[in-house]
A and B are shown apart, each in its own frame.
Chain A
Amino acid sequence: MSRTRSQEDRRQALAGWLFVSPALLGLIVFLVVPIVLALYVSFTNWDGLSNPLGGDVKWVGLHNYQQLLTHDGLTRTTFAGALRNNFWFVLFVVPTQTALALWLAVLVNNKYLRGRGFFRTAFYFPSITSSIAITLVFLFLFQGGGAVNGILNWFGVKGPNWLADPRGVVHVWLSGVGVTKPPGWTQHSVMGQSLWDWFSGPSIAMMVIIILVIWTTAGTFMLMFLAALQNVNEDLYEAGELDGAGSWQRFRYITLPSLRPTLLLVLTLGLIGTWQVFDQIYLTGNNPATRTPAYMSFDQSFQNNHFGIGSAIAFLLFALIMGLTLLQRRLIPEEID
């Protein structure tokens, strides 16, 4: 009996390893090994034209990281600009897409809504398209003399030359309220960019991408919120109504708390996604007004032959995203009370 057992166990163990090895092997070869290799390259000056493990390649230690973080030069200034662009991108996109997704979910969740399926489909459809296809459409719509400006014209507003306008929106707003020249104290430079530049807000060109990304991802998150909304206990609402709570109060004290896990998930996914934005940025070209660290990593490697710098940026980005995710989990804990 025990012999059959152990024979059985061995067979299962063998089967287990056999089943899991292809996928595991794939993940190791194409995920773990690349990361290790890239880590190595980030400490070298490999230029892409020879074998990275070969003799021509020089070990330079932390040189690449210094170029990005400490050495006052073009690389650091460019990296700082990319970080700044991405930071404002994240700041504008994540709250907006979360709020919009939630609002749409609430609207669509109405049992008596006619054409519920239609609306749900309409809002979700953009999410299934490829980022490239959609970005091309938006690049067309946001031309200086394009559709969006045409619509703004109907309302008597002269739209900016969107993709060609590198001014930060905060600067534009400030000049609208009379602050046109940066005050002296903002000229202090951090990582090669002045404080004034750090607080410029996203550029108007970046706003196109921001609108684009919100438009394409709101639908996905809307579905997640819909699921959560539909799991909210109806009795709670009835009790609330009986207690005399208005619809806003019911939302605030019943709906929102029940959505907490989903909200956390949406925020986390949003953060992770926005710090990696690349596809859309690629189509706007090497534009300092829209450049992000992900694009810079690609560009430094494939345009300037600085694979060492490109890899270093990748790891800095990795660290940043991990750090922010952990921080976010600290600040907004999973459970309340």
Chain B
Amino acid sequence: MKSVRVQRIIGVAGAAAVLVTAAACGSSGPSKSSGSSSGGTGGSGGTGGATSGVTLQVLIGSSGDAETNAVVAAGNAWAAKTGNKVVVTPAKDLTQQLTQSLAGGTPPDIFYVDASKFQGLVKGNALADVGEKITDSSDMYPNLQKAFTQSGKYYCVPKDFSTLALEINTGLWAKAGLKDSDVPTTWDQLETVAKKLTGNGVTGLVMSDTLDRIGAFMRQAGGSVVSADGKTVTADSPQNLAGLQYVQKLAKEGVLKFPKQVDTGWGGEALGKGKAAMTIEGNWIVGGLQKDYPNVHYKVVPLPAGPAGNATLSFTNCWGVAQKSAHQAAAVDFVDYLTTVDQQMSFAKAFGVMPSRQAAKTQFTTEFPDQAAFVTGADNAFGPVGFPGFDAVQKDFDSKIQGLSDGSSDPKSMLSSLQKNATDALSNN
């Protein structure tokens, strides 16, 4: 009995050991990392850490495979050049994963920082102050620089920017008998063409149910969530109400639907799958459609003007370097590489964002004439609300938007909730 027992235990332990060793040695498939880690010691002073033989962890909030592939490719190129390694991870939920890894004390070396999350990260001392260290960092558009500067410190450089515009499926447009002159330039015209385009399983307009989209209409009506100096909440205003009621009108008529209502995840997918004739999205839709739905032909036009004129929303991210990163020098070097005019242009080509460098503007407009609407949008674009704590408030507001379709959400009470919650959150800062 004793020998059987011992044998059995040894057997199990042995099997386990074999399994574990086999698994550990087994390949994990082609990974996203690249380059060979050389044995070089590097260490060129700088902000700290070696600049060779280093592995950088990069966390991105990707808009799709196109973007992920582009960043990976850039990582490969830089890695080969410098003898380092770059591991790119597209996050399922960037905010949550970043927060968790920061809280755990092991953040990625480089990560996207959305303009709306910037202030919170600065407050939590998560960002290294490296803006000035990037070559020619003052060449970035001034309002983009401002979005990532606090207390006089230029923390990180903007990587690109995008604005919202109206994307129209040209095939469905022609099929509905519409012509170039019918491209909507006012709210009423948008409503008319959306009506004409709805039918046969196609919805005229599909856009995401978030303040980051319908906020454009609120701006076009002259409203804003916070005042220009960021000190007062102005959510509950007649202008915002007008914008929201316009969205409600279209939703109730069935000519505006939200992505989940047509079994898709975002406006681009709806356009690509033919469920939507039009959508309102930013530049990133270019890359997404190119990769996943290459057979869909579309054109990009500026958003229509509202009662207060033209307005659109702009979005930007910066290349944040973690304060806790052990490889700040290498990270800065990589960010430097990522923000050259050439690299920014190749990102633009890959997934459609606009370079944040003014030096690249002419090149961009020449190479991508059909994206002119995005560029012109920059002239009357507004950035997102950025104070810490607004995130939860926006989530709550966003969750009610879909209810506009069936009347279960009321614009006035949505705005008064927004006012109340935003004021509460702002007062906590």
Given contacts A74-B393, A303-B391, contact A166 B403 (CB under 8 A): yes
Q: Is the C-beta of A305 less than 8 angstroms from some C-beta in chain B?
A: yes
Residues of A76-108 whose CB lies within 8 A of B = 77-78
List, in ascending order, chain A residues with CB within 8 A of B420's CB: 73
Cβ of A145: which chain B residues have Cβ within 8 Å of it?
A: 263
Interface of chain B residues 75 through 115 with chain A (CB within 8 A): 93, 95-96, 99-100, 102-103
Smallest CB–CB gap between A1 and chain B, Å?
30
* Interface mask (B42-69 → A, CB under 8 Å = 1, otherwise 0): 0000000000000000000000000000
Per-residue A-contact encoding for B180-206, CB less than 8 Å = 1, 0 else:
000000000000000000000000000
Q: Which of chain A's residues has its CB closest to B262's CB?
A: A144
Contact A163 B260 (CB under 8 A): yes
B424 within 8 A of A: yes
Chain B residues in 8 Å Cβ range of A304: 99, 389, 391-392
Q: Which residues does chain B contribute within 8 Å of A163, judged by CB atoms?
A: 260
The reply to whether B95 and A74 form a contact with Cβ atoms under 8 Å apart is no
Chain B positions 381-411 with a Cβ under 8 Å from a chain A Cβ: 389, 391-393, 395-396, 399, 402-403, 406, 408
Q: Does A164 interact with chain B (Cβ within 8 Å)?
A: yes
Task: Assess the B408–A74 pair: CB atoms within 8 A.
Answer: no
B403 partner residues in chain A, CB cutoff 8 A: 166
Q: What's the nearest-Cβ distance from chain A to residue B260, in Å? A: 4
Is B96 a contact partner of A48 (Cβ separation < 8 A)?
Answer: no
Q: Let me know if A49 is at the binding interface, CB within 8 A.
A: yes
Q: Could you tell me the distance between the alpha carbons of A166 and B403 in the complex, rounded to whole angstroms?
A: 8
B261 to chain A: which residues have CB within 8 Å? 144, 161, 164
Residues of A in contact with B, size category: 20 to 34
Contact of A305 among B120, B125, B263, B395 (CB under 8 A): B120
Do B263 and A144 touch across chains, with their CB atoms under 8 A apart? yes
The reply to whether A74 and B392 form a contact with Cβ atoms under 8 Å apart is yes
Q: What are the residues of chain B within 8 A of A166 when measuring CB–CB?
A: 399, 402-403, 408
B126 within 8 A of A: yes
Greatest chain B CB density within 10 A among A49, A78, A287 is at A49
Chain B residues with Cβ under 8 A from A302's Cβ? 96, 99-100, 103
Known: A287-B399, A302-B103. A161 touches B260 (CB 8 A): yes
A288 near B396: Cβ-Cβ < 8 Å: yes
| Alpha-carbon gap, A166 to B395, bound state (A) | 15
Q: B407: shortest Cβ distance to chain A, in Å? A: 9
* Binary A-proximity of B274-291 (CB < 8 A = 1, otherwise 0): 000000000000000000
**Contact, CB under 8 Å: A299 / B396:** no
A217-250 interface bits toward B, Cβ cutoff 8 Å, 1 = contact, 0 = none: 0000000000000000000000000000000000
CB-CB under 8 A from B96, the residues of chain A are 299, 302-303
- A167 and B408: CB pair below 8 A? yes
Q: Does B425 have its Cβ within 8 Å of any Cβ on chain A?
A: yes
8 Å CB interface, A121-180 against B = 143-145, 161, 163-164, 166-167
Q: Which of B225-283 contact A (CB under 8 A)?
A: 260-263
- With beta carbons under 8 angstroms apart, the residue of A47, A78, A305 that contacts B396 is A78
What would be 18 A-B contacts, judged by CB atoms less than 8 Å apart? A73-B420, A73-B421, A74-B392, A74-B393, A75-B392, A77-B396, A144-B260, A144-B263, A145-B263, A163-B260, A164-B261, A166-B408, A286-B395, A288-B396, A289-B399, A301-B103, A303-B96, A303-B99
In the A-B complex, the 4 residue pairs with the closest CB atoms: A48-B103, A164-B260, A49-B124, A74-B421
User: Which of A's residues lie within 8 Å of B, judged by CB?
Assistant: 47-50, 73-75, 77-78, 143-145, 161, 163-164, 166-167, 286-289, 299, 301-305, 307
Which residues of B line the A interface, CB within 8 A? 93, 95-96, 99-100, 102-103, 120, 124-126, 260-263, 389, 391-393, 395-396, 399, 402-403, 406, 408, 420-421, 424-425
